[in-house]
Amino acid sequence: MANATSLVVVVSGPGGVGKSTIVEKLVARDAQLWLSRSWTTREKRQGEAADAYKFVSREEFEANIAADGFLEWTDFLGNFYGTPLPNPPQGKDTVLEIEVDGAQQVKSLNQSALLLFVLPPSRQEQKARLHGRGDPDQKVEKRLKKAEEEEPVGKAIADYVIINDDLESTVEEMGRIIAYERIQRTAS
């Protein structure tokens, strides 16, 4: 995985909390961050960027599991998602935007990974965000139910828990945490 001195930042949290939106902004304002692109077997959403994931068939995904090509992978609500073995440019810090099971796997592989767990201000707001993103009703319900399982685990393993209420404040807060953790690691 990433070289010895670089930081691995794991951004996790329930579906619809705003992880992708936050990470996109963090990466845009901090040139030292390198975002890993995950693989998934799920279909591309309408309006979703073609490079949001590497969209693959189940067979392609399984072949990459067999080839030990993933740092971590999981089955999330019937689709596979996985982080390919990271290869960040020299000097860059890696950002993984993944769900809780994957975050646990990364933490057990790399104790010094920084886990930022993002929570919604309320379940109602999370629901509104999922609907606003265009998720169909059935998917919204599944993701809300899944959030009830994910949150206690995420909170227990997180280095920091952040509530994504106002987007800009969240991005500021997470940027400050990353800056602080970089200093801590250089100092130790």
Where along the sequence are the contacts to ligand ADP (CB under 6 A)? 13, 15-21, 129, 132-133, 164, 166-167, 170
Contacted entry of ligand 5GP, ligand ADP, none for residue 38, CB cut-off 5 to 8 Å set by kind: ligand 5GP
Smallest distance, ligand ADP to C-beta of residue 149, A: 16
Pick the closest to residue 58 from 36, 44, 39, 71 (CA basis): 39
Question: Using CA atoms, how far apart are residues 164 and 135, in angstroms rounded to an integer?
Answer: 19
CB closer to ligand ADP out of 89 and 132: 132
Nearest residue to ligand 5GP by CB is 102
x-marked contacts with ligand 5GP along 66-95 as a string, rule CB under 6 A:
------x-x-x----xxx------------
Smallest distance, ligand 5GP to C-beta of residue 19, A: 5
Smallest distance, ligand ADP to C-beta of residue 11, A: 9
In the list 6, 10, 15, 94, the residue contacting ligand 5GP (rule: CB under 6 A) is 15
Pick the closest to residue 181 from 153, 160, 155 (CA basis): 160
| Binding positions for ligand 5GP, rule: CB under 6 A | 15, 19, 38, 42, 72, 74, 76, 81-83, 97-99, 101-102
